[in-house]
């Protein structure tokens, strides 16, 4: 799909529709109108930034620039995921970064390998965008679950450790809860009836010019990659979190046992 | 075997604690609040830092790094297993989970064995503390740390001490204090 394929009259009509919706809310509900306006402005700003860097990558067509871009995306995803988790565990940045890097690079690598015939710097960045976006949804939830589980099961944790459990055994219930939470965003979108409402990425691929069969295969590949990357990222993050979350006695920092 | 606390001070305690518990004797920590008594047991298990003094077992200091090894000598029965609200959010933990741990897989356990041991404890079988004490005894470790046992379990715990175990309990119950060989006022 090229910019020349987009008819300017259609764009104008869509803007008119947006103006109509906002006018309706301006009359009935000014708060919602402002909200729509804010989101539309934010979306336009974000898309301008995305356009700038994807256009640059397309023009330069350099793998080094694409890899550097991917690294920036990984760091930004880790930082945003930590902020989004609202756990106030700033010490968790490095484990989170390692988790995002492991999950996104393994799954992204496999996807790019799967479409190596059309692999390009821009494709790499596009795949990593999808994977990082997914982690931004999954990782805050799994970190929240893990921290909350450790905080609320202190008695059971101490009981297990005191009666012979290794640290790994005592942490296992909380790890399992976090892993379970990490796959929920992948499963949630797929558990509804998809026949008439396939995932947005499927529609995106068709719009981009992919054949229906290629779009179906690619959607399936992305589903598996996202599922795997959530589990890998959560597992790596938690495996590296002991020093950040637990004190030298194995107790969670800043939490009083009762 | 000797469990020694020498001039130990922990957070929340008004004064230092010195005591020596031995095999074949039942030691009871009493006084203070229930929370403070539980905290002292956690100090003995190596979960709480000490501000001064030292804790040792047979002269081996119970440091953070040595605690996991020394805990292999201990079995612990807390006063309760679940915090308020915990079971609403998470699956209720099972008392018998400890038998699934690698280190305890050799311990013979079945519903029959556990019921029989709970009957021997002599306290109300519906009280979770009875189950926790029975599990701790069935782990067959030389040191038993029991937090706030039911009064009816006092004789059973004293019997465990006579059979050669080192029993350390935290309690305010007069029946427990009566059968203890050593009482330590906090």
Residue-range domain boundaries for chain A: 1-60, 61-245
The beta-carbon neighbor of B98 closest among A154, A163, A247 is A163
Q: Pick the closest to residue A220 from A194, A255, A242, A252 (CA basis).
A: A194
Q: Which pLDDT score, from 0 to 100, does residue A202 have? A: 87
Going from N- to C-terminal start, the domains of chain B cover 2-185
Using the predicted structure, report yes or no on whether residue A74 has a pLDDT greater than 90: yes
- Looking at beta carbons, which residues of chain B come within 8 Å of A247? 49
SS3 assignment, position B18: strand
DSSP structural state of residue B90:
S
- Looking at beta carbons, which residues of chain B come within 8 Å of A150? none
Using the beta-carbon criterion (under 8 Å), do A164 and B93 form an inter-chain contact? Answer: no
> Which H helix or E strand runs over B185?
strand B182-185
Mean pLDDT of A131-136: 93
CATH number for domain B2-185, candidates 3.40.50.300, 3.50.50.60, 3.40.1160.10, 2.20.70.10: 3.40.50.300
Q: Any idea how long chain B is?
A: 186
* Token couple for A35: 């909200």
Query: What was the ipTM of the complex prediction?
Result: 0.91
Minimum distance, in Å, between the CA of residue B101 and any CA atom of chain A = 6
Q: What is the pLDDT of residues B93-124, one digit of tens each?
A: 677 788 888 888 888 888 888 899 999 998 88
Q: How far apart are CA B114 and CA B121, in angstroms?
A: 11
Decide if A145 contacts A87 (C-beta within 8 A).
no
Residue whose structure tokens are 């708060």: A31
Q: Which pLDDT score, from 0 to 100, does residue A240 have? A: 94
Q: Which pLDDT score, from 0 to 100, does residue B92 have? A: 59
* Candidates B45, B48, B90, partner chain A, best to mutate (most A CBs within 10 A): B90
- Looking at beta carbons, which residues of chain B come within 8 Å of A164? 71-72, 98, 101, 103-104, 139
* Candidates A159, A168, A250, partner chain B, best to mutate (most B CBs within 10 A): A159
Q: What are phi and psi of B91, to 5 degrees?
A: -60, 140
Q: How confident is the model at residue B176 (pLDDT cuts 50, 70, 90)?
A: very high
Minimum distance, in Å, between the CA of residue A97 and any CA atom of chain B = 28
The dihedral built from the CA positions of residue A219, A223, A228 and A229, taken in this order, carries a sign that is: positive
Using the beta-carbon criterion (under 8 Å), do A163 and B85 form an inter-chain contact? Answer: no
Q: What is the pLDDT of residues B46-84, one digit of tens each?
A: 998 889 999 999 989 999 889 999 999 999 999 888 765
- Looking at beta carbons, which residues of chain A come within 8 Å of B145? 162
Using the beta-carbon criterion (under 8 Å), do B136 and A163 form an inter-chain contact? Answer: yes
Q: Where are the alpha helices (DSSP H) in B46-183?
A: 67-70, 86-89, 111-121, 128-138, 154-162, 174-179
Q: How far apart are CA A130 and CA A104, in angstroms?
A: 10
Share of chain B above pLDDT 70, in %: 94
Q: Which pLDDT score, from 0 to 100, does residue A143 have? A: 93
* Token couple for A52: 């700038």
Mean pLDDT of A75-97: 90
- Looking at beta carbons, which residues of chain B come within 8 Å of A148? 89
The dihedral built from the CA positions of residue A207, A208, A212 and A217, taken in this order, carries a sign that is: negative
- Looking at beta carbons, which residues of chain A come within 8 Å of B136? 163
Share of chain A above pLDDT 90, in %: 49
> Which H helix or E strand runs over B57?
strand B52-57
Which of A143-147, A245-249, B92-96 has the largest mean confidence? A143-147
Q: How far apart are CA A242 and CA B167, in angstroms?
A: 33
- Chain A residues with CB under 8 Å of a chain B CB are 148-149, 152-156, 158-167, 169, 173, 177, 247-251, 257-258
């Amino acid at each position: 799909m090229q910019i020349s394929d987009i008819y300017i009259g259609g764009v104008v009509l869509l803007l008119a529709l947006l103006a109509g919706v906002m006018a309706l809310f301006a009359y009935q509900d000014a708060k919602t109108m402002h909200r729509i306006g804010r989101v539309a402005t934010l979306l336009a700003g974000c898309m301008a930034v995305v356009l700038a860097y994807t256009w640059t990558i397309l023009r330069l067509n350099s793998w080094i620039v694409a890899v550097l871009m991917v690294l920036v995306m990984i760091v930004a995803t880790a930082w945003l995921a930590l902020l989004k988790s609202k756990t106030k565990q700033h010490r968790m940045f490095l484990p989170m970064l390692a988790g995002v890097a492991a999950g996104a690079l393994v799954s992204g690598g496999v996807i790019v390998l799967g479409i190596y015939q059309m692999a390009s710097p821009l494709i790499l960045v596009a795949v990593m965008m999808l994977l990082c976006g997914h982690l931004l949804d999954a990782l805050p939830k799994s970190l929240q679950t893990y921290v909350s589980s450790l905080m609320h099961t202190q008695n059971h944790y101490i009981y297990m450790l005191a009666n012979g459990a290794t640290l790994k055994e005592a942490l296992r219930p909380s790890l399992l809860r976090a892993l379970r939470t990490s796959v929920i965003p992948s499963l949630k979108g797929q558990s509804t009836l998809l026949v008439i409402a396939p995932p947005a990425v499927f529609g995106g691929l068709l719009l981009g010019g992919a054949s229906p069969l290629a779009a179906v295969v690619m959607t399936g590949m992305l589903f598996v990659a996202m599922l795997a990357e959530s589990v890998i990222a959560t597992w790596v993050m938690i495996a590296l979190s002991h020093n950040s979350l637990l004190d030298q006695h194995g107790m969670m920092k800043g939490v009083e046992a009762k | 075997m000797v469990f020694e606390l020498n001039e130990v001070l922990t957070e929340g305690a008004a004064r230092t604690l010195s005591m020596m518990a031995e095999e074949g004797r039942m030691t009871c920590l009493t006084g203070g609040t229930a929370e403070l008594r539980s905290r002292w047991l956690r100090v003995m298990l190596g979960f709480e830092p000490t501000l001064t003094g030292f804790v040792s077992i047979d002269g081996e200091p119970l440091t953070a790094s040595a605690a996991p090894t020394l805990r292999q000598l201990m079995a612990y029965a807390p006063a309760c297993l679940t915090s308020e609200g915990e079971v609403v959010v998470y699956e209720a933990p099972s008392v018998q989970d400890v038998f699934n741990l690698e280190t305890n897989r050799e311990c013979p356990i079945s519903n029959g064995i556990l019921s029989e041991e709970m009957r021997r404890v002599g306290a109300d079988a519906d009280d979770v503390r009875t189950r926790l004490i029975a599990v701790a005894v069935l782990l067959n470790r030389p040191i038993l740390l029991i937090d706030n046992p039911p009064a009816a379990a006092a004789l059973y715990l004293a019997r465990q001490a006579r059979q050669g175990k080192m029993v350390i309990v935290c309690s305010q119950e007069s029946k427990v204090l009566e059968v203890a060989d050593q009482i330590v006022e906090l």
